[in-house]
Chain A
Amino acid sequence: MTDFSDAFAAAIGLVLGLDTSLTEIVGLSLRVSLTAVAIAAFIGLPVGAAIALFRFPGRFFFVVATNALMGMPPVVVGLIVYLLLSRAGPFGVFGLLFTPTAMIVAQVLLVTPIIAALTRQVIEDLWIEYEEQMRSLGAGPGRAVPALLWDGRFTLITAILAGFGRASAEVGAVMIVGGNIDHVTRVMTTSIALEVSKGNLALALGLGMILLVLSASINAAAYLIQHNTKRWHA
């Protein structure tokens, strides 16, 4: 299989040559996915914690819905966002289709359910552990939301990383709403798909390797931060 060694050479060539279009593509990938994950965390963490702690009618529905939405195919999310942002759709006047903003919107929709569902599980488990203690201190579910989010922060980082993994790996949604426009909306995954369609399998695989390394570095950084602060607190 010469393809794998060619891919390796292609990846190293791109990185060492500091290929400008590569840095642009990597930069946009990070900008889109990190922004989407930050927004998704901002929504998903409190929503997940609230579903875990409050008892309200329809709660069962929310739990099942967030869990089910974790499995939403990116291409369906892309299609929904496309129809919403299209000039013929309800938000067409903003002209957001085929921009990085549209890609962020799609990824927020993809990632929020993941963060919310995982947060709900983490917080529910913590609440079982702390409920008695917190109630005896006079703290109900309302007060418990921020306290438990803070207490579960190390586990919740994993939830956020799972969301980031989903965002940075998906191609279906960003392809439809971004359009894979060179220098504007081309990210790592869409350029891999493009190179495959051109038959440049080695270059495509090389780009895949770079994406994998990037994802590994972000996860490693998160792990180290988690690990070191944990020790600091201990």
Chain B
Amino acid sequence: MKRVILMALMTTVIGLLPGPALAAEKFFTLVGTTSTDNSGLYEKILPLFTARTGIKVRVVSVGTGRAINIAKNGDADVLLVHHKTSEEKFVAEGYGLKRYDVMYNDFIIVGPENDPANILGLKSVVDGLAQIAATKSFFVSRGDDSGTHKKELSIWKMTGIDAAKASGTWYREAGAGMGATLNTASAMPAYTFSDRGTWLKFENRGGLRLMTESDPLLLNPYGVILINPKRHPHVKAKMGQAFIDWITSPEGQAAIKAYRINGRQAFFPNAKK
């Protein structure tokens, strides 16, 4: 019995210990994509916003598909993702107030150094994927309904090849975030479709190298949306809007522009003035 009492005491004591976040703290929750987080951008620019406004940002990073789902449930205040069609649908369905352009970067194809599909130097990403399929070279897909995954599928569609049919053979669906997918590709080794930010920051490249870039099809625009407070009254609309105003302001845009990974600009601001 003593032990039970001891346990009860322990529970109370531990439960009472102050957490790292006190109730009085001003914060809102941003749900965004893994690619932005893995690229290290938030660590750099969010402290600037906090310094200016005193508002802390709690970032939850998941794939775009789940991020939109979390936002629809009202479990976050602001959504920052990269799949324009889904974002516009989100706003049209009344879940979000308005979509603002924030920035863009681009997607790339990386692959094994020995380049079994011989795509290095190809200007067209559609041709590149077609050649990977023709040579049945290993290709790892995110396979997680993220923005990157959706973009990859849209380019497969243009090649006229049904890659999903080959799933399990040369086409492998990892069902994982960008970093985990790059880990898989580097271990196989295989080609994969990645955003540039995560790739620049990625440290376990092994024998992978950059294969295809700069095709206009590979542009990757990010949008930011405040969750509709009419649908979810608890949404911290004021703080969320303050963040959107800041990140689309000259100051926020300059912070995005100044962010470098290994000396390279990773994101290009494009908010409309």
**Chain A residues proximal to chain B, CB less than 8 Å:** 24, 27-28, 31, 34-35, 38-39, 41-42, 45-46, 86-89, 92, 95, 97-98, 100, 146, 149-150, 153, 156, 179-184, 196-201
Q: Which residues of A contact B188 (CB under 8 A)?
A: none
Asked whether B51 is an interface residue with its Cβ less than 8 Å from the other chain, the reply is no
Asked whether A42 lies within 8 Å of B60 as measured between CB atoms, the reply is no
The CA of A13 and the CA of B101, in the complex, are separated in Å by 41
Q: Please state if B204 and A199 are interface contacts (CB–CB under 8 Å).
A: yes
Is there contact, CB below 8 Å, between A46 and B4?
A: yes
Q: Which of B3, B72, B180, B234 contacts A153 (CB 8 A)?
A: B3
Q: What 9 pairs between A and B have smallest CB-CB spacing?
A: A197-B179, A199-B204, A87-B74, A179-B60, A88-B73, A199-B203, A38-B11, A199-B202, A181-B58
Interchain CA distance A31-B17 in the complex, whole Å: 8
Contacts of B60 in A (CB 8 A): 98, 179-181
Interface of A is mostly: helix
Partner pick for B178 among A150, A196, A197, CB 8 A cutoff: A197
* Residue pair B203, A198 in contact (C-beta under 8 Å): yes
Task: Determine whether the beta carbon of A150 is less than 8 Å from that of B1.
Answer: yes
Q: Does B84 contact A (CB under 8 A)?
A: no
Within 8 Å CB of B58, what residues of A?
98, 179, 181, 184
How many B residues touch A, CB cutoff 8 Å? 39
Pairwise interchain contact B75-A183, C-beta atoms closer than 8 A = no
CA distance A184 to B58 in the complex (A): 8
Q: Mark B172-215, 1 if CB is under 8 A from A, else 0.
A: 00001111101100000000000000000111110000000000
How far apart are the CA atoms of A46 and B1 in the complex, in Å? 10
Among residues of A, the one whose C-beta sits closest to the C-beta of B6 is A38
B74 touches A88 (CB 8 A): yes
Indicate whether B19 reaches chain A with its CB closer than 8 angstroms.
yes
Contact of A199 among B20, B72, B182 (CB under 8 A): B182
Measured CB to CB, the nearest residue on chain A to B12 is A38
Residues of chain A contacted by B179 (CB below 8 angstroms): 196-199
Whether, in the assembled complex, B153 has its beta carbon less than 8 Å from a beta carbon of chain A, the answer is: no
Question: Which residues of B lie under 8 Å from residue A180 when comparing CB positions?
Answer: 60-61
- Does B260 sit within 8 A of A, measured CB to CB? no
Evaluate contact between B10 and A199: CB separation under 8 angstroms.
Answer: no
**For A179, what are the chain B residues with a Cβ–Cβ distance below 8 Å?**
58, 60
Distance of A139 Cα from B204 Cα, bound (Å): 65
Q: Are B203 and A149 in contact (CB-based, < 8 A)?
A: no
Residues of B within 8 A of A41 (CB): 7
Contact status B11-A35, CB under 8 Å: yes
> With A35-B11, A98-B58 as given contacts, are A42 and B4 in contact (CB-CB < 8 Å)?
yes
Bound-state Cα–Cα, A62 to B179, Å: 42
Q: Shortest distance in angstroms between B38's beta carbon and chain A's nearest beta carbon?
A: 6
Does B14 lie within 8 Å of A34, measured CB to CB?
yes
B17 cross-chain contacts in A, Cβ below 8 A? 31
Q: Which residues of B contact A146 (CB under 8 A)?
A: 1, 4
Contact, CB under 8 Å: B3 / A150 = yes
Given contacts A31-B19, A181-B29, 7 further A-B contacts (CB under 8 A): A87-B232, A92-B74, A98-B60, A197-B183, A199-B202, A199-B205, A201-B203
Q: Is the CB of A38 within 8 A of B10?
A: yes
B34 interface residue (CB < 8 Å to A): yes
Given A31-B14, A88-B73, does the pair A95, B204 have CB atoms closer than 8 Å? Answer: no
Query: Considering residues A31, A38, A41, A196, which has the most beta carbons from chain B within 10 angstroms of its beta carbon?
Result: A38
Partner of B3, one of A39, A92, A149: A149
| List of B residues within 8 angstroms of A150 by Cβ | 1-3
**CB–CB A197/B177 < 8 A:** yes
Establish whether residues B20 and A24, one from each chain, have CB atoms under 8 Å apart when the complex forms.
yes
Q: Which among A98, A100, A153 is the interface contact of B29 at CB below 8 angstroms?
A: A98
| Max chain B Cβ within 10 angstroms of own Cβ: one of A28, A34, A89, A198 | A198
Q: Closest chain A residue to B43 by CB distance?
A: A182
Is B21's CB within 8 Å of the partner chain A?
yes
**Would you call A35 and B180 a contact (CB within 8 A)?**
no
Determine if B24 is an interface residue (Cβ-Cβ < 8 Å).
Answer: no
> Do the beta carbons of A42 and B11 come within 8 Å of each other?
yes
A183-B20 CB under 8 A given contacts A38-B10, A197-B178, A199-B202: yes
